[in-house]
Structure 1
Amino acid sequence: MMKSFATLALVAMSSLAVGQQQLRVEVLNEQKQPLRNASVNVRKTQLFSQQTDTQGIAVFSRLPNGKYAITASFLGYIAKDTVIQLQPDSYIQLQLSPTTIRTEEVLVNATRAKNNASTTFKNLDRQTIEKSNLGQDIPYLLDQTPSIIIGSDAGNGIGYTNMTIRGSNNERINVTLDGIPLNDAESMGSFFVNLPDFASSVDNIQIQRGIGTSTNGAGAFGASLNIQTQALNEKPYAELNNAYGSYNSWKNTLKAGTGLIDGRYAFNARLSRIASDGYVNRASSDLKSFYVDGGIYGKKQTLKATLFSGKEKTYQAWYGTPEPLVKGDRSKLADYAVNAFGFDESSSEYSRLMNADRTYNYYTYDNQTDNYTQTHARLHYNNFISDVLNFSVALHYTRGAGYYEEYRPQDNFSKYGMDELTIGGETISSSDLIRRRWLDNHFYGTTYALNYTPSTNLKFTFGGAYNEYKGDHYGEVIWARYASNSELGDKYYFNDAKKTDFSVYGKMDYTLNKWLFNLDLQYRNVNYKTAGNDDKIKNIDLSDNLNFFNPKFGMTYLISSQSNAYLSYAYANKEPIRKDYVENPLSEFPRPERMQNIEGGYRYSSSNVNIGANLYAMLYKDQLIPTGAINDVGGTIRQNVPDSYRVGLELDAAWNITSQFTWRATAAFSENKIKNFTEYVDVYDNWDFVETKEIKYDKTDIALSASTILSNEFAYRPLENLEFSLRSKYVSRLFLDNTSSNDRSIDPFTVTNFGTKYSISAFGLKNIDILLQINNIFNAKYETSGYTWGSMDTSGNRSYYNFYYPQATTNYMLGLNLRF
């Protein structure tokens, strides 16, 4: 039903794509040569954007009569503004003159998909980001893009958040900030909790689904996020942004910038704080950050330095909530209490669980928290050597350090290298204690790119990166009821790790008549070593040296100035992450993943209708898939499977029905399968282990990969400065493990959010924004992630325990933004 509705709706939208009136904008340089891929913005009550074609022309159709503001811009040229009174089939020519280089555009240019590229991508501009930026993490700003599922440990999007795109989680999503890798070198995850309120310093985001173009850092096996920080403000400004909402959630942001000083210098700064008690009990967050940049902007060269840092303290909610509390079947709760948690029926913890609800948190120790500080320093240099040649290079250094603290009842001394005690004739071999597990790391390196455009039909890009990571993992006991022979500061385990990552790529874009051809070749070498003792495994001494060749090529056919069709093929490799080596459930050395990615699609863009449709096939060799279990810090345990795939159809459309009413929708239908999968289940006779049983599946669903994801947004703008929006999201069933069992799955859900924004100028302020966001207005009780584990008895009866991460019921955030 929902599939048919979405398909018919998008077909109906496409039938309205042909316009009756057109505005043609031609953009030229001083020599009256066309500027291809120049940006043209047309605004009345809404903003319409396009890029010029090979003739320097952008066409906007079906615009109603009226007065329009038009802006044309191109890298290295002065943007030109004009206002026209639109008449049928209007034409205007804008001629741009060279100016100061805008370095922010250069920072992401080499790794971004261009307007007509044979890559499946989505761009989010600053206006879209600002409408939802009320303290929730960056994944929540992407919620209305195709194939994405978001969630958070605390349930309300503040603190630790997670996302999957095409079923791939953040360990498989490449993230760059101004072209510099953000993914942690060992876990491959991007932890936005370490960069609270970074969205307030973001200008735009490009989401490339699939392998995408060659980029820097970790391989993209589900998607890549290319984030560009705030662009140059030529005029001084100051902003004070505040928000308050449910669960005692606060966001306070102070921003200021000097504008251009003497036409050459500019500085920006931001100070932020976000705090929340969380929807889940005690899942609180206390997040602080700052951002500072300064730049020298010349006509041929630019130099920009950036320093930003985040400090987070979050209460742990990694254990999740047991299924009986989430689904309301409390008849199973006693079994969970005794056999999943190990609670004694007379204990206070047993009683607390039996009286809990879906916001239950296993942890109760006051300082059961994660504490981490991460600071980034970057230096970007760009040189426009000539009109056809430019060069950029960046140096970066990231310092991270922190720990999570936990209370451990009756842990054995032997685990911590402590001797047994004898007190009053009694031998004591265990103690209640508090421990901290530390990460202390450094990440540094360089990225570079050379762009050569000998003609309007040909462009070459050469680039790459070299990065090094050095990290220490160690644990300390900071308190024990019986301390034995331990001393404060002793490390009960310690291991160090080093990873080097070298890559180089070459790209070519060639236009022949209506055809655009893309060739993209990358070589990457990864070397990972670690030695010492881990918390779980002693005497780790491993080394893995991997060489990858990642070719990509595609072609786009320009049907018209408003539409094109594309087809691409990409092959990529991705290395295992640390826990694949240390916590492999099959006790085998993990193999790198390999994937072939085929993308084919159609795009149509006019002033009132935008449609994108694409088919994809992601064919894996040795994919590292989640088993359904997690480790003791909430990370998914993974294993290699020889043969698996993800294939699907994605639709992304927007229709400006009138100048006041807009409808946007996305749909993703997919099949995510493992071929010839073997499940390993431990068999017990009472409490005695008997064997590990193998269960074979010819074809089964990949865990946590939805077959259907739909989103819908209605936006109504009764006044130019007032907008209301209603956004909904539907996600089909998610299986917790790889057995396609409904008994171990997350039920389908639909969640709907309401938002409004009102902007005025008053009291001498440049702008006042009042924002209200009411999330989950229909009070749906839903979950977006979870895990499972279990065993089997000798009679073949299976027992399992499911845990979920419940998301917040109806909640709100109210914001007030002041711009001076």
Structure 2
Amino acid sequence: MSIIFKKRLLIALVLPTAGIYYAQSTKDSLEKSKSIDEVMLVGRNLSQTAKERKTPVAVSTIKAAEIQEKLGNREFPEIMKSTPSVYVTKVGGGFGDSRINMRGFDGANIAVIINGQPVNDMQGGTVYWSNWTGLADIASNIQIQRGLGASKFVVPSVGGTINIVTKATDSEQKAMIKAEAGNDNYSRVSAMYSSGLKNKWGTTVLLSRWQGDGYINGTKGEGYSWFFSTGFKPNEKHAFNLIATGAPQVHDTRRSSATGANVATLQQFETYGRRYNPQTGMLNGSSFNLAPNFYHKPIASLNWDWNINDALKLSTVVYGSWGRGGGGTGLNGSIKNANGQTMNFMNYGQGGDGTINWDMIYRYNRGGLVTDYNGNSFQKSTFTAPTGSPADHNGQYVSTLNGTSGIVRKQSINSHDWYGAIADLNYKKNNWTFNGGIDLKTYKGALYDIVTDMLGSDALYIPNTVNAPKGSYVDQTVKPEPLTKLNNAQKVSIYNEGLVKWAGMYGMVEYSSEKLSASVQASVSEQYYKRIDYMLYTPGNQETKWYHKTGYIVKGGANYNIDQHHNVFFNTGVISRQPLFNALFPSNQNIYNDAKNERIFSVELGYGFKSRYVDVNINAYRTQWDDRFISRTFNAGAADVANFSQLKLGNAYFYNALNVGQVHQGVELEAKARPLSNLRLRGMLSLGNWKYKGNANFNIMDVQSNQEVSGATGIINIKDLKVGDAAQTTASIGADYNITKAFSIDANWEYYDKLYAQFNPINFLTEAAREKGIVKLPSYHLFDVGATYKFIIDQKKSLTLRANVYNLFNKYYISELSSNIFAGDKIANGPDAGKTYQEAGRVYQGVADGNTGFLGFGRTWSVAATFRF
């Protein structure tokens, strides 16, 4: 990056959360940029930041200015979607429900690190972005490290690493107030204050609140974000920083996994519009949602940097995370009449809006006579408890739910406590650096179901369980809202805990000169697992023993700077990754499945060109993922018994795919250009080829006995099938143009192609299914624009106005499919039964409209005003 461009960039940008104010002159800019290095950003060795033309990885960096100005009211991962091989969708569209894929790997295979602290869930590996809505306010930069990444920690990412560094304690006194507004009644107010470094102490505090109705019908939400950092620097040898942040929130959802959820088909989107939500409706005059999400996951870390001498440094962090809240499990129970007819409470009738008639359910639960949309009558009969059960509830018999007598809203709680410590010792002598450390953590997660709304019933009767053979009542509800107290909440159907302990150590040797940088690093970890179930087992039999798995990572690479313009790099590595907790206990029982470690091999080559006007990076990669474990639980139907006579009709089993393999390879190009002093261009292109490398074996296990069913084995026919759920071809072109020193405009175009439906490989049990293949979604383009105006009051004070419009041309597009129906498939039911979707004219953008999935958002907008002083 040229000095001239650095000066212009520093003059042009305002970084609100990092506290960098607009500079009036080039000299002031350079002086202030120097002071940034003096901010107490402790734990630098733990931040895992890749260095340009030194660290041999494919990396894209997003600065605070871009996050603050261009993210607006979108989801946090969406700021990363213009980087190579990244695919982001909003999924159902609730606040914070978005997901991200990198090089074709989902979020469970992408390491997310915040200030050196890994935050992927230790049971499922996932990251729920609704827990991190405050990152937009506090992130100082994001590095998207594709592939093996630069992390020294024992975080075996397959697709890549998202490394987020937040602001710490600022060295200067400053403050900020920001107000935002957007489509669908979105609003957000934020305030930040930094005391500056005084008497060796400094503190920074940020608070914000947001609310909105949601672009998707029935997805309103509200939440808060808070951030606190205090630093102490007694001398040049020691620096301490305490950082804590959290984002309590509640939002209604549109999910594909909740019990009782009706996932929208493309046909329904065509009928009811792209904002359609089949999981909402009206209850007693107010909007009511099937599966609201409410959660608070604060994290805190205490960092200590000790410069022992000029060559030796020790960085240490101890951290904790405490998650409390829940998501959408859905409905508990069902409603049937004496004729065995199931109530149709979905308003699909003439002139209906396709939503849930919650009032009908409520009237039924209160004992009223109701007639559903199919014309069937339903009325709850007087409840008679089984002999010997606790029927006398609060001194009276009550009309409760039992079997098919009614429905309540049930939700799943995930509460966890997570503690960890990392110590990193760094020794540098001449051109050599020796680095090593330990990584320790312990995790305890509790999963249980609660009732959040009785929907008119007096209580929920739970039939006999192993710990309550006479049955029990649930008459308490928990309100889904931020900071909900869950202590002593009554459990409904599941209650178990997962315990994970982790001990790892790592080491790295690095050589670095002006021309050559090379490193080799290795890490090993031991992971321990235990499961406790309080619902399915009697006391004394509730805990499993501790099981353990060993994993390791070996990787290395080199970067060679040919001259001041050209450089080349390569990296390679192998990972033996321990299975996730859910793979070791796949049946939600205390039954251990001795799954093998997954094996990952990756190799990558890259080239970079850097000049005064143009920066170009191009790289090619190949990642092979073997011994992937996939499981699917099912109740044996007639077709299953016909295929495997050993199965018993109606019994519970699960398919185990034992050795699924995938190959992800591709080419990535990223470029930036500065043809004029006031014009900056950027672009990227990624061409991927992600597929299953061969067929896999499967067996069938009996859920109750955890024994393999003899002879129930076979082949999963997935060879050469494309990996679904993420676009394999992506492209982007963007421009930032400064019309004046105060006024700038920007635009960004994105293109997505070779996007296939998501699918479970276990469904492909025949060669005919494999030959049929996977549904390919239509390609699509998106176009975003924005404008910024900055009023400079003085050296300390400024007012910045920002406006964004996303999907400017209101493009209709399918962002993901959760089914795999072809236009040539025959329709099973309804007036078009026997015809193919193509023959019946039932296609949506060329895709059979019987498929379930989600459409992307239409045109949205946001505006913001930021005052710094």
- Shorter-chain TM-score bucket reads 0.7 to 0.9
Amino acid of the structure 1 residue aligned with 2:785: F
**Is the 1:710–1:731 contact (alpha carbons within 8 Å) kept by the matching residues of 2?**
yes
> Any idea what the Cα deviations from partners look like across 1:769-794, whole Å, max 9, x if unmatched?
1111100011111233331278999x
Q: CA distance change for structure 1 residues 299 and 638 in 2, over 3 Å: closer, same or farther? A: farther
Structure 1 counterpart of 2:867: 818
Where 1:130 maps in the other structure, the secondary structure is: helix
2:59 to 121, 140, 165: 121
Structure 2 counterpart of 1:574: 577
- Measured in 1, the distance between the counterparts of 2:749 and 2:268 equals 22
Shift of residue 443 of structure 1? Answer: 0.3
Where 1:746 maps in the other structure, the secondary structure is: coil
2:415 to 436, 440, 452: 440
Q: CA distance change for structure 1 residues 618 and 460 in 2, over 3 Å: closer, same or farther? A: same
1:399 to 318, 322, 335: 322
**Is the 2:43–2:304 contact (alpha carbons within 8 Å) kept by the matching residues of 1?**
no
Counterparts of residues 262-341 of structure 1 (less than 5 Å): 262=199, 264-297=200-233, 298-319=235-256, 321-325=263-267, 328=270
**Is the 2:101–2:107 contact (alpha carbons within 8 Å) kept by the matching residues of 1?**
yes
Shift of residue 589 of structure 1? Answer: 5.2
- Measured in 2, the distance between the counterparts of 1:761 and 1:79 equals 18
Structure 2 counterpart of 1:372: 295
Shift of residue 426 of structure 1? Answer: 13
Shift of residue 293 of structure 1? Answer: 0.8
**Is the 1:643–1:675 contact (alpha carbons within 8 Å) kept by the matching residues of 2?**
yes
Q: CA distance change for structure 1 residues 122 and 109 in 2, over 3 Å: closer, same or farther? A: farther
**Is the 1:280–1:361 contact (alpha carbons within 8 Å) kept by the matching residues of 2?**
no
1:192 equivalent in alignment to 2:195:
no
- Measured in 1, the distance between the counterparts of 2:133 and 2:407 equals 34
- Measured in 2, the distance between the counterparts of 1:140 and 1:424 equals 50
Amino acid of the structure 1 residue aligned with 2:8: K
Give the stretch that moved more between structures: 744-753 or 479-488.
479-488
- Measured in 2, the distance between the counterparts of 1:239 and 1:600 equals 43
Counterparts of residues 15-54 of structure 1 (less than 5 Å): 42-44=6-8
2:307 to 379, 384, 387: 384
Structure 2 counterpart of 1:483: 460
**Is the 2:298–2:321 contact (alpha carbons within 8 Å) kept by the matching residues of 1?**
yes
Where 2:682 maps in the other structure, the secondary structure is: strand
Shift of residue 226 of structure 1? Answer: 1.4
Give the stretch that moved more between structures: 463-472 or 127-136.
127-136
Amino acid of the structure 2 residue aligned with 1:700: L
- Measured in 1, the distance between the counterparts of 2:327 and 2:506 equals 39
Q: CA distance change for structure 1 residues 697 and 190 in 2, over 3 Å: closer, same or farther? A: closer
**Is the 2:12–2:741 contact (alpha carbons within 8 Å) kept by the matching residues of 1?**
no
Counterparts of residues 407-486 of structure 1 (less than 5 Å): 408=331, 410-411=333-334, 420=386, 429-430=403-404, 431-455=406-430, 457-477=431-451, 479=454, 480=457, 483-484=460-461, 485-486=472-473
Counterparts of residues 580-591 of structure 1 (less than 5 Å): 580-583=583-586, 590-591=595-596
1:360 equivalent in alignment to 2:277:
yes
2:818 to 787, 792, 803: 787
- Measured in 2, the distance between the counterparts of 1:649 and 1:577 equals 30
- Measured in 2, the distance between the counterparts of 1:225 and 1:638 equals 31
Shift of residue 541 of structure 1? Answer: 4.5
**Is the 1:768–1:816 contact (alpha carbons within 8 Å) kept by the matching residues of 2?**
yes
Shift of residue 512 of structure 1? Answer: 6.1
Structure 2 counterpart of 1:225: 162
Q: CA distance change for structure 1 residues 167 and 787 in 2, over 3 Å: closer, same or farther? A: same
1:778 equivalent in alignment to 2:809:
yes
Kindly tell me the number of residue pairs found equivalent between the two proteins. Answer: 697
Shift of residue 114 of structure 1? Answer: 2.6
Structure 1 counterpart of 2:744: 723
Q: CA distance change for structure 1 residues 214 and 239 in 2, over 3 Å: closer, same or farther? A: closer
- Measured in 2, the distance between the counterparts of 1:219 and 1:815 equals 39
Shift of residue 318 of structure 1? Answer: 0.9
- Measured in 1, the distance between the counterparts of 2:656 and 2:225 equals 33
Structure 2 counterpart of 1:732: 753
- Measured in 1, the distance between the counterparts of 2:59 and 2:505 equals 23
Shift of residue 392 of structure 1? Answer: 0.8
Amino acid of the structure 2 residue aligned with 1:465: D
1:767 to 785, 798, 801: 798
- Measured in 2, the distance between the counterparts of 1:696 and 1:270 equals 53
1:495 equivalent in alignment to 2:518:
no
**Is the 1:628–1:787 contact (alpha carbons within 8 Å) kept by the matching residues of 2?**
no
Amino acid of the structure 1 residue aligned with 2:70: S
Structure 2 counterpart of 1:808: 857
1:696 to 708, 717, 721: 717
- Measured in 1, the distance between the counterparts of 2:771 and 2:102 equals 20
What TM-score, normalized by structure 1, do the two folds share? 0.77
Structure 2 counterpart of 1:531: 532
1:669 to 679, 687, 704: 687
Amino acid of the structure 1 residue aligned with 2:227: Y
Q: CA distance change for structure 1 residues 80 and 212 in 2, over 3 Å: closer, same or farther? A: closer
> Any idea what the Cα deviations from partners look like across 1:169-223, whole Å, max 9, x if unmatched?
2111111111111112112122231122222111112111012134446421111
**Is the 2:583–2:593 contact (alpha carbons within 8 Å) kept by the matching residues of 1?**
no
Structure 2 counterpart of 1:260: 197
- Measured in 2, the distance between the counterparts of 1:425 and 1:502 equals 52
Q: CA distance change for structure 1 residues 419 and 118 in 2, over 3 Å: closer, same or farther? A: farther
Shift of residue 458 of structure 1? Answer: 1.1
Where 1:43 maps in the other structure, the secondary structure is: helix
Amino acid of the structure 1 residue aligned with 2:726: S
Shift of residue 638 of structure 1? Answer: 10
**Is the 1:672–1:705 contact (alpha carbons within 8 Å) kept by the matching residues of 2?**
no
**Is the 1:123–1:204 contact (alpha carbons within 8 Å) kept by the matching residues of 2?**
yes
> Any idea what the Cα deviations from partners look like across 1:714-761, whole Å, max 9, x if unmatched?
221111222211111111132222558677343221111111111112
Shift of residue 376 of structure 1? Answer: 1.6
Shift of residue 610 of structure 1? Answer: 0.8
Shift of residue 560 of structure 1? Answer: 0.8
1:183 to 108, 120, 126: 120
**Is the 1:678–1:697 contact (alpha carbons within 8 Å) kept by the matching residues of 2?**
yes
Shift of residue 71 of structure 1? Answer: 7.1
Amino acid of the structure 2 residue aligned with 1:595: I
1:608 to 606, 610, 613: 613
Where 2:65 maps in the other structure, the secondary structure is: helix
Where 1:580 maps in the other structure, the secondary structure is: helix
**Is the 2:657–2:697 contact (alpha carbons within 8 Å) kept by the matching residues of 1?**
no
Give the stretch that moved more between structures: 479-488 or 267-276.
479-488
Shift of residue 602 of structure 1? Answer: 0.6
- Measured in 2, the distance between the counterparts of 1:189 and 1:45 equals 36
Q: CA distance change for structure 1 residues 808 and 653 in 2, over 3 Å: closer, same or farther? A: same
1:516 equivalent in alignment to 2:565:
no
Shift of residue 511 of structure 1? Answer: 3.4
- Measured in 2, the distance between the counterparts of 1:523 and 1:193 equals 32
Q: CA distance change for structure 1 residues 424 and 123 in 2, over 3 Å: closer, same or farther? A: closer
Q: CA distance change for structure 1 residues 68 and 376 in 2, over 3 Å: closer, same or farther? A: closer
> Any idea what the Cα deviations from partners look like across 1:565-624, whole Å, max 9, x if unmatched?
011111113333344345579996543321111010011222321100000000111235
Counterparts of residues 546-561 of structure 1 (less than 5 Å): 546-561=549-564
> Any idea what the Cα deviations from partners look like across 1:631-684, whole Å, max 9, x if unmatched?
xxxxxx9955432210000000011111122221011101101123369999xx
Structure 1 counterpart of 2:76: 138
User: What is the RMSD computed on CA atoms of the aligned residues?
Assistant: 4.0
